[in-house]
Structure 1
Amino acid sequence: MINMIALDLDNTLLTNDKRISQRNELALKKLHDEGMRVVLCTGRPINAIWNYIDQLGLTGADDYTITFNGALVVHNNDKAVLAKQGMKRDGLAPLYDFSKSHGYSLDVLDFEQDYQISDLAPSIYADKLGNTLKYTATPFAGLADQLYSKAVIAQPREVVDKVQSVVDQSLLDHYHIVRSQPHILEFLDHDMDKAVGLKTLLGHFGWTFENLMTFGDAENDLGMLKAAQVGVSMANGTDAVKAVANEVTLSNEEDGVAAFTENYFA
């Protein structure tokens, strides 16, 4: 029995102009009102997506969000932390050395803000995310010795293609590396994935992956699509996403989430 629906945002629930369509909104609100747990799963902090949480009415006592691609599970209405996992500054040193040697940018995020590493190349991360985060320029040596959720190389698509082509095994051994958007490559703790956060949240309610339906389109959604009882790829999803999904629905521009859930739960 499906008790929880977990949804990626960009190019999945959201249209290309970053909206939740009326049809998707109404479909998810109906399921939520009937007792379904509707969980947004994103790489961003909760404050950066609060407009979507509010639009869907996900502010009840049992509403949670998976943020930072699984690294933080947060209770929506009071921002209390259910689970948190990340990397210390020393754990990011191999990535800093890699970026420096190749002339790439680097953004390091804790669970509140983005630290733009100022002794590396300029990043386009702030340009793409806008004012949804606080941005602080700092050299890598100036980072505090605390827990960080992830690091990001944000560059034009062709540069990120090049980054992926030169990533070596030592980095793969250190990090879980996912391309969340064409211009963004994310570096997470080695065992971190959206499925990790969802496993914790499912356990909180006494459920397992057999009670989960997920929707996604990109590389950072693969784990949760594989793990779920019902993993749904968008029509605009990558070939790798479609290969692991149980089902393929319409695109994010065609209300694919609503189209699938309306039929599945009819």
Structure 2
Amino acid sequence: MIKMIALDLDNTLLNRDKVISHFNEKILRQLHRNGIRIVLCTGRPLKAVEQYIDQLGLNTDFDFTITFNGALVLNNATKKILFKHTLAKEDFRSLYQFAKNRALALGILDFKRVYPIIGLKEAHFNQHLRDVLQFVPTSFDDLKDIGYSKALMPDNDPKKLDDVQQNLPEDIKNRYHVVRSQPHLMEYLAPKMDKAVGLAELLKHLHLNFDQLMAFGDAENDAGMIKKAEKGIAMANAQPEIKSIADDQTLTNDEDGVGVYLKHYFNL
């Protein structure tokens, strides 16, 4: 029996205008009232998710959000951290050298700031990050040895990242979990870190398991939760690899795919 629904945001729950439609909101609010856990599960930081938490009414002591692709799990009401996984500065040294050798942009994130690395290609990060995270351009040598969440490698030309992804050295592949969260953005996470890791911690906390989970997604950073959920649902606009591992498929994010599927599945 499904007791939790994990939802990716960009290109899944959100339409092309980065909005949760009235229909999707209505369905999710109804399920939430019926006792189903609704968990937003995203690569974004919490501040970039709060408006959607408020819209869906997911702000009780019983509601949680998974951010930074699984590395941070928080209670929505208290902001108390349930789970947090960090990386050290030295964990990024080989990636920094790789970006320097290939003339690539690189930004390293803690949980509140983005540190675009000075001396590399100028970074063009997603505009929504600028509204919620402080940008602190820093040289790699001047980075403090604090806990970091991940690194981002953006490029306005997706074909450039296609080439990077296809030709990653083995040491980079082995040192990071590399995912393409959007066509113009590659993310470097801790090894084996993904949304399923954060979900595992949350499910354990709530005395639930993956057999009680339904997950919706569209991109590489959704693969872990799509595979492990009892019902992994791919959007019609999902990457082919995600469709191939999903249990089922729904309409696109611009056609209320999440709400349409849930209405039918739960006989609402």
Task: Give the letter aligned to residue 48 of structure 1.
Answer: A
The corresponding residue for 1:168 is: 169
Query: What's the CA shift for 1:120?
Result: 1.0
The corresponding residue for 2:82 is: 82
What does residue range 147-162 of structure 1 map to in structure 2 within 5 Å?
A: 147-156=147-156, 157-162=158-163
Task: Give the letter aligned to residue 39 of structure 1.
Answer: V
The corresponding residue for 2:46 is: 46
Task: Give the letter aligned to residue 36 of structure 2.
Answer: M
- 8 Å Cα contact 1:83/1:200 also seen in 2: yes
Secondary structure at the residue paired with 1:123?
coil
- Is 1:15 the counterpart of 2:15 in the alignment? yes
Query: What's the CA shift for 1:130?
Result: 3.5
Q: Distance in 2 between matches of 1:249 and 1:70?
A: 24
Query: What's the CA shift for 1:126?
Result: 4.8
CA RMSD of aligned residues (A): 0.9
The corresponding residue for 1:114 is: 114
Q: Distance in 2 between matches of 1:99 and 1:159?
A: 13
How far does the alpha carbon of each residue in 1:37-60 deviate from its partner, in whole angstroms, 9 at most, with x for none? 100011111111110110000001
Q: Which runs of 4+ in 1 moved over 6 A?
A: none
Q: Distance in 1 between matches of 2:26 and 2:2?
A: 19
- Is 1:91 the counterpart of 2:91 in the alignment? yes
Task: Give the letter aligned to residue 205 of structure 2.
Answer: H
- Is 1:69 the counterpart of 2:69 in the alignment? yes
161-170 or 210-219, larger mean C-alpha shift: 161-170
Secondary structure at the residue paired with 2:136?
strand
The corresponding residue for 1:263 is: 264
- 8 Å Cα contact 1:234/1:251 also seen in 2: yes
The corresponding residue for 2:215 is: 214
Task: Give the letter aligned to residue 94 of structure 2.
Answer: P
Task: Give the letter aligned to residue 196 of structure 1.
Answer: V
Task: Give the letter aligned to residue 120 of structure 2.
Answer: L
The corresponding residue for 1:5 is: 5
The corresponding residue for 1:252 is: 253
- 8 Å Cα contact 1:41/1:194 also seen in 2: yes
Q: Distance in 2 between matches of 1:55 and 1:119?
A: 41
For structure 2, the 5+ residue unaligned runs are none
The corresponding residue for 1:225 is: 226
Task: Give the letter aligned to residue 53 of structure 2.
Answer: I
What does residue range 163-202 of structure 1 map to in structure 2 within 5 Å?
A: 163-202=164-203
Q: Distance in 2 between matches of 1:141 and 1:62?
A: 42
- 8 Å Cα contact 2:48/2:129 also seen in 1: no
- 8 Å Cα contact 1:109/1:149 also seen in 2: yes
Secondary structure at the residue paired with 1:119?
coil
Identity of aligned residues (%): 47
Secondary structure at the residue paired with 1:177?
strand
Secondary structure at the residue paired with 1:222?
helix
- 8 Å Cα contact 1:9/1:41 also seen in 2: yes
What does residue range 21-36 of structure 1 map to in structure 2 within 5 Å?
A: 21-36=21-36
Task: Give the letter aligned to residue 4 of structure 1.
Answer: M
Secondary structure at the residue paired with 1:132?
coil
Query: What's the CA shift for 1:129?
Result: 3.3
- 8 Å Cα contact 1:126/1:135 also seen in 2: no
- 8 Å Cα contact 2:61/2:78 also seen in 1: no
Task: Give the letter aligned to residue 23 of structure 2.
Answer: R
